[in-house]
Amino acid sequence: MSHINLIPGEQGIRLSTLSPKYLHTNSTSHTWPFSAIAELIDNAYDPDVDASQLWIDIKRYGTRSDHCLTFTDNGEGMDSLKLHKMLSFGFCEKVAKNDHLPVGHYGNGFKSGSMRLGKDAIVFTKQQDSRSVGLLSQTYLEEIKAQTILVPIVSWDSNGDMVERADGDKALRDILKYSLFKTEAELQEQFNNIPSESGTRIVISGMRKTQDGNPEFDFRSDIHDIRIPDDVESESNKYRRQERQNHIPESDYSLRAYCSILYLRPRMQIILRGKKVRTTVIAKSLSKTEVDTYKPQGTSKPIKVTFGFSQNKNHYGIMMYHRNRLIKPYVRVGYQLRANDFGVGVIGVIQCDYLKPTHNKQDFDYTKAYRSSMSALGSKLNDYWNEKKGKAQTNSNALIPEPKEVESVPDQLWVQCDNPECLKWRKLPASVKSEDLPEKWYCYDHPEKQWRSCDVPEELEEEKEEAVQPYVKKQKKRLEKELEEKKRREKVNRSL
Amino acid sequence: MSHINLIPGEQGIRLSTLSPKYLHTNSTSHTWPFSAIAELIDNAYDPDVDASQLWIDIKRYGTRSDHCLTFTDNGEGMDSLKLHKMLSFGFCEKVAKNDHLPVGHYGNGFKSGSMRLGKDAIVFTKQQDSRSVGLLSQTYLEEIKAQTILVPIVSWDSNGDMVERADGDKALRDILKYSLFKTEAELQEQFNNIPSESGTRIVISGMRKTQDGNPEFDFRSDIHDIRIPDDVESESNKYRRQERQNHIPESDYSLRAYCSILYLRPRMQIILRGKKVRTTVIAKSLSKTEVDTYKPQGTSKPIKVTFGFSQNKNHYGIMMYHRNRLIKPYVRVGYQLRANDFGVGVIGVIQCDYLKPTHNKQDFDYTKAYRSSMSALGSKLNDYWNEKKGKAQTNSNALIPEPKEVESVPDQLWVQCDNPECLKWRKLPASVKSEDLPEKWYCYDHPEKQWRSCDVPEELEEEKEEAVQPYVKKQKKRLEKELEEKKRREKVNRSL
């Protein structure tokens, strides 16, 4: 019996090995292409890299390729060991840095994401004392008829000398033969494309095409966006995510729109095809905002749920974040699941760190804790609606009048400083309107003097005792007060 | 720079390696536990194993464990190389055998499925000239602090002598130390539990528990079933799959019910906790059946879509199969997505081999081809409904009267022979009623003499020219005929 194709492990115990075909297998959990892109954005965002800026671009390399996708960040960069782990499976060593929790957890994002977008990826990464390049390529592995996944990696030290020359020479030979870059000079040029001392650049080529031979993405309709094309030329056939019923949020088909809500509290600028993504802090863009709380079973601290009315009343539901990263947007709950107009326009924002995201980070593991959360969020949304709009009829079949038009002015206007070293969020006074803001805004533009410097710490969100009390309780208190007041007055009247 | 934890590959090119943690990562795409079980059923069903019987049981081993899940089949078994590939990633060499297409395709089902259900799995497999055992265990890898995934494998030849003794001894030592089975005799007993000359037995232990410490499955409510417990003690809180809105099919929470529809044309008996699963051939259980066709773009042959009324009018939608295996059950399309009673009770059955299943085989890749299919299935279902029930009002907001009660007698009664060597499906005459059939039925029970032997080939499904014509066309033809007839009669009248 022969085991020649499978590498034996240490101490006679066999290793589980990886077939090159597994690169595709592993990518099949990303059914939505932006879900794959988000994995690469997370890698730049996470605290081990902690980039303050990420550039996403498309690029052709000479006559050699169709469009490639490039991701370039100004973060920490990697040494060759870390790069090797990135090109391996399940090695996640990300840890929290202060309040910055890593999104990555499974050690799989780069592989599943990049191999979903294209057949081949090459990673350039530099630190002060090293430059490394690594290749993860299905085309390469097919051409050399590899039995397992090989990942050529070359490193140079700060003097430009190759590290581990014996192995490096062979790896370099394969990279120059099988990647888009045919000379050492071309490789070095890619390092120079990283605009800071340290950082990482990823080039994805062999991009996936649709069955009719067209690129999966539409790069033309908006030169500052990457979009998923409509299925046919008609408004109603806009690309929509599978779970949508009627309204299609722009984030389903516009990468710019998706990036603008990808993080609950953005801490990294994303520059998409040359133009900065203007981030939206959802919870701060709502009107008639109320804060409720939810205490999941087995946790000690209640979690904040912010409800409010969306500025676009067609897009509503719960925005579910996990460790600051959007997992499920616009999830309808409570009244919103019924075939009437109750709950329309209401957005809820919650950060569910107590739940576990699935393989593709677009859903949560479907546990009892998840189901309880959804049910609780449904009742809370109903409470909010009842308070703001009057109690709904329990008979859901009755014909129900259209709810009154929603106010579209957000309760607060926040803006983020464009200085990449700062990126703080500032609350503006009520007199400033969103449409009056310049394209680029810096702390020194603030109308109020005390905030007019990047050195001033960010204003804390209201965490007053009252704010974390469920507003239903608050309402009860108010009613109790009114009742007391009434009694008092009656008493006074009687005594007169 | 140190690479000690990562094994270098051939020719100086580094290997991509597998962290033990990746076993969990990879399992996170199964959000529904039966989706993990289905992977193990597929492995027994697929043509390389081609079992005619699969036993699924629960078992405790002495005082050493909680309940374990066991899967035992009478299929081909594996040699140690094939077992090693099964414990590796992406090595799928399954090919079609006559008309029997493999469900497995990614080389990942055993790993993602077993590691979703429990922390540890051990595989016993025998063929005429070999017996092999292999361990895939998260507990083991944690305890030995492994840096990569090691899979101890031991093989014996037909004389009972260990193959590759040097490696085998070390593997055996680890298996006896870290698995549930503490002596060689206990291992041999597991081989003896495989009731045929060749076959495979999988024991999954360290079964997942819910947050409150209870087993994920309910083994008590039905001693012949494995069920997902209700969230709370109430009818309306039965476990339901995420996409459900109101009605909850039994297959969501009963493994027996799920197994009964898992294959479009069953070819393997599943014996669940001692009792055979009575398979339902959905397309043959409907009433008012009509066959329509759908020709996906880029394919040459139209695909059959069978519509009919379900016997349980609460459970309806499209049953989407891929290579005979159920991928998505009860997917609502067309009228069924509206908040009225149109389309209620209608089942559609389609085999979508032109689409690609996702990582967890519970959905299709969300491509244009998929979206076109869903839209076409919607119109076809509407056509069917309009023909059977009268045209729906286009104004979906109008209050609509309840549709008339659906007839619940299926058009045809089919039964499967219980002889595991036969398993053929036989159509019964209209006089026989489903409820009159015995628990076990064999070909020699057939009321019609010509079918009364397992040697008689299975009756072909109606594939008459008419049957593959869309019935809308048929209807048009009928109308044309009526029109001609009318004209003819008028002509006759005039000539009189």
Interval A369-379 mean pLDDT: 91
Q: State the pLDDT at residue A357.
A: 92
Q: State the pLDDT at residue B119.
A: 97
Q: State the pLDDT at residue B471.
A: 54
B164 contacts on A by Cβ (under 8 Å) = 1
Nearest CA in chain B to A130: B1
* Cβ-defined contact of B6 to A81 (cutoff 8 Å): yes
Interval B152-164 mean pLDDT: 92
CA dihedral A284, A287, A291, A296 (to 10 degrees): -80
Ramachandran angles phi, psi of B263, nearest 5°? -115, 140
* Cβ-defined contact of B25 to A89 (cutoff 8 Å): yes
A88 contacts on B by Cβ (under 8 Å) = 6, 16-19
Among A221-230, A449-458, B171-180, the least confident range: A449-458
Q: Which domains does chain A have, with CATH numbers?
A: 20-259 (3.30.565), 281-393+401-411+466-495 (3.30.230), 414-464 (3.30.40.100)
Tell me the residues of chain B between 166 and 205 that have a Cβ less than 8 Å away from chain A: 166-171, 174
A363 has a chain B CB within 8 A of its CB:
yes
State the average pLDDT for chain A. 85
A204 min Cα distance to partner chain B (Å): 18
B280-299 pLDDT tens trace: 888 888 999 999 999 998 78
Query: Is the torsion defined by CA of A311, A312, A317, A323 positive or negative?
Result: negative
A114 has a chain B CB within 8 A of its CB:
no
Tell me the residues of chain B between 365 and 404 that have a Cβ less than 8 Å away from chain A: 365-369, 371-372, 399
Taking a C-beta distance cutoff of 8 angstroms, is the pair B69, B117 a contact? Answer: yes
pTM of the model: 0.83
Of residues B36 and A463, more confidence is placed in: B36
B221-233 pLDDT tens trace: 999 999 999 876 4
Query: Is the torsion defined by CA of B316, B320, B324, B325 positive or negative?
Result: negative
Tell me the residues of chain A between 3 and 62 that have a Cβ less than 8 Å away from chain B: 3, 6-26, 28-29, 31-32
pLDDT exceeds 60 at position B482: yes
A442 has a chain B CB within 8 A of its CB:
no
Max mean pLDDT among A163-177, B179-193, B478-492 falls in: B179-193
Query: Is the torsion defined by CA of B378, B379, B384, B387 positive or negative?
Result: positive
B43-85 pLDDT tens trace: 999 999 999 999 999 999 877 668 999 999 999 999 999 999 9
Of residues B243 and A6, more confidence is placed in: B243
Q: State the pLDDT at residue B478.
A: 62
B81 contacts on A by Cβ (under 8 Å) = 1-3, 6
Torsion region of B390: left, alpha or beta (phi above 0 gives left; psi -120 to 50 gives alpha): left
DSSP B364: B
Suggest the residue from B2, B10, B17 to mutate for an interface test with chain A (most A CBs closer than 10 A).
B17
Q: State the pLDDT at residue A482.
A: 65
* Cβ-defined contact of A25 to B363 (cutoff 8 Å): no
Of residues A217 and A459, more confidence is placed in: A217
Report the alpha-carbon distance of residue A29 to residue A359 in Å, rounded: 7
Instruction: Give the percent of chain A with pLDDT over 90.
Output: 53
Amino acid (1-letter code) at residue B351:
Q
Suggest the residue from A5, A11, A15 to mutate for an interface test with chain B (most B CBs closer than 10 A).
A15
pLDDT exceeds 90 at position B187: yes
Q: State the pLDDT at residue B7.
A: 46
Q: State the pLDDT at residue A146.
A: 93
Report the alpha-carbon distance of residue B342 to residue B438 in Å, rounded: 37
Instruction: Give the percent of chain A with pLDDT over 70.
Output: 85
Interval B439-457 mean pLDDT: 86
B104 has a chain A CB within 8 A of its CB:
no
pLDDT exceeds 80 at position B107: yes
Instruction: Give the percent of chain B with pLDDT over 90.
Output: 52
A460-494 pLDDT tens trace: 655 443 444 455 555 666 666 667 767 776 776 66
Of residues A42 and A98, more confidence is placed in: A42
* Cβ-defined contact of B148 to A15 (cutoff 8 Å): yes
B353-382 pLDDT tens trace: 999 998 899 999 888 889 889 999 999 999
A241 contacts on B by Cβ (under 8 Å) = 366
Q: State the pLDDT at residue A111.
A: 96
Give residue A475's Cα distance to chain centre.
35
Pairing of β B425-428 and β B118-127: unpaired
Q: State the pLDDT at residue A470.
A: 52
Report the alpha-carbon distance of residue B68 to residue B65 in Å, rounded: 7
Of B451, B462, B464, residue with least CA distance to B425: B451
A12 min Cα distance to partner chain B (Å): 4
Q: State the pLDDT at residue A426.
A: 85
Q: State the pLDDT at residue A57.
A: 97
Query: Burial of B304 by CB count in 10 Å (0-12 exposed, 13-18 middle, 19+ buried)?
Result: middle
Among A298-302, B153-157, B355-359, the least confident range: A298-302
Suggest the residue from A13, A39, A179 to mutate for an interface test with chain B (most B CBs closer than 10 A).
A13
Among A33-42, A56-65, B322-331, B464-473, the least confident range: B464-473
Q: Which of B9, B29, B155 sits opposite A359 (nearest CB)?
A: B29
B372 contacts on A by Cβ (under 8 Å) = 231
Taking a C-beta distance cutoff of 8 angstroms, is the pair A117, A205 a contact? Answer: no
Nearest CA in chain A to B82: A3
Q: State the pLDDT at residue A478.
A: 61
Suggest the residue from B11, B81, B89, B370 to mutate for an interface test with chain A (most A CBs closer than 10 A).
B89
A224-273 pLDDT tens trace: 999 999 876 444 577 777 777 667 889 999 999 999 999 998 889 999 99
B152 contacts on A by Cβ (under 8 Å) = 13-14
Confidence grade of residue B477 (pLDDT, cut at 50, 70, 90)? low
* Cβ-defined contact of A339 to B339 (cutoff 8 Å): yes
Q: State the pLDDT at residue A494.
A: 66
Give residue B240's Cα distance to chain centre.
18
In the sheet where B317-322 sits, what is the strand order?
B287-294, B303-309, B346-351, B317-322, B325-331
pLDDT exceeds 70 at position B320: yes
Interval B463-475 mean pLDDT: 49
Tokens of A136: 């993860």
Amino acid (1-letter code) at residue A86:
M
Q: Which of A17, A153, A366 sits opposite B32 (nearest CB)?
A: A366
Enter the ipTM.
0.81
What are the helix (H) ranges across A76-183? 80-86, 109-117, 138-143, 165-178
Suggest the residue from B28, B212, B336 to mutate for an interface test with chain A (most A CBs closer than 10 A).
B28
